[in-house]
A and B are shown apart, each in its own frame.
Chain A
Amino acid sequence: DGGITQSPKYLFRKEGQNVTLSCEQNLNHDAMYWYRQDPGQGLRLIYYSQIVNDFQKGDIAEGYSVSREKKESFPLTVTSAQKNPTAFYLCASSIARGGNYGYTFGSGTRLTVV
């Protein structure tokens, strides 16, 4: 079945560590997105990529970095500069850069700083 795979499902990070969240899709979608979800809040856009080797900052990019070396993969690194990284992270993809088709979402990664 086609879809988006996020791993790991749960991740624990110590203060000062960088961690990388994986997002892989086999839908042949052009565009991929990373969102952060906090309790009682909607999804906030961290980074997005509409084509391989190109990506743009979203609304809350500080403390995060991404790469898009392959169409299928869009990993997110949460760096030690991110002040409050504990959250639920969602990866999504869409069929075209035009944005008319809506997103397919992964199951998410819950990151906790310990």
Chain B
Amino acid sequence: AQSVSQHNHHVILSEAASLELGCNYSYGGTVNLFWYVQYPGQHLQLLLKYFSGDPLVKGIKGFEAEFIKSKFSFNLRKPSVQWSDTAEYFCAVNEGAVGKSTFGDGTTLTVKP
């Protein structure tokens, strides 16, 4: 079965620090990859996605992620975080054309003002 691993459960950063959240998956075939974000009191929402083409994907609010097939990784990055980025972040993977996603356990990001 597919599995998704997020390396950090809780990350604490100061404003303007750079962010990288790790995500690794186990499936060796074609994948679609996603990062979702849940801000306090809000719905889970899609941050960015990869399904083909340029492995460096840009999403909303200055986030980006890089798909490295050889490492089975899809790490999320942001050069300079803001207090408003405080949220829980989930990595998710679909296998090929199958619509259902497998999620990681999530990473809680706390940004200190």
Hey, which bits of chain A sit against chain B, CB under 8 A? 31, 33, 35, 40-45, 48, 50, 58-59, 90, 92, 94, 96-108
Contacts and interface: CB of A to CB of B under 8 A. Distances in A.
Given A99-B32, A100-B32, A31 B99 contact: yes
B4 interface: yes
A106 B38 CA distance: 12
Given A33-B101, A42-B106, A98-B99, 7 more contacts: A41-B105, A45-B102, A96-B99, A99-B97, A102-B34, A105-B36, A108-B43
B98 interface: yes
Which of B34, B92, B99, B101 has most chain A Cβ within 10 Å?
A: B99
Nearest to A100: B51
Contacts of A98: 97, 99
A42 B99 contact: no
Q: What is the predominant secondary structure among interface residues of chain B facing chain A? A: strand
A105 B45 contact: yes
A102 B43 contact: no
A55 B6 CA distance: 29
Contacts of B105: 40-42
B94 A40 contact: no
25 contacts: A31-B99, A33-B99, A33-B101, A35-B103, A40-B9, A41-B106, A42-B4, A42-B6, A45-B100, A45-B101, A58-B100, A59-B1, A92-B44, A97-B99, A98-B97, A99-B32, A99-B94, A99-B100, A100-B51, A100-B94, A102-B36, A103-B36, A103-B44, A105-B43, A105-B44
Contacts of B1: 59
Q: Which 7 A-B pairs have the closest CB atoms?
A: A99-B99, A42-B103, A99-B94, A105-B44, A43-B103, A102-B46, A42-B105
Interface string B70-85: 0000000000000000
B91 to A, nearest CB: 9
Contact of A103 (B4, B6, B101, B102): B101
Contact of A50 (B32, B34, B99): B99
A94 B97 CA distance: 13
Given A90-B44, A102-B46, A105-B45, A48 B104 contact: no
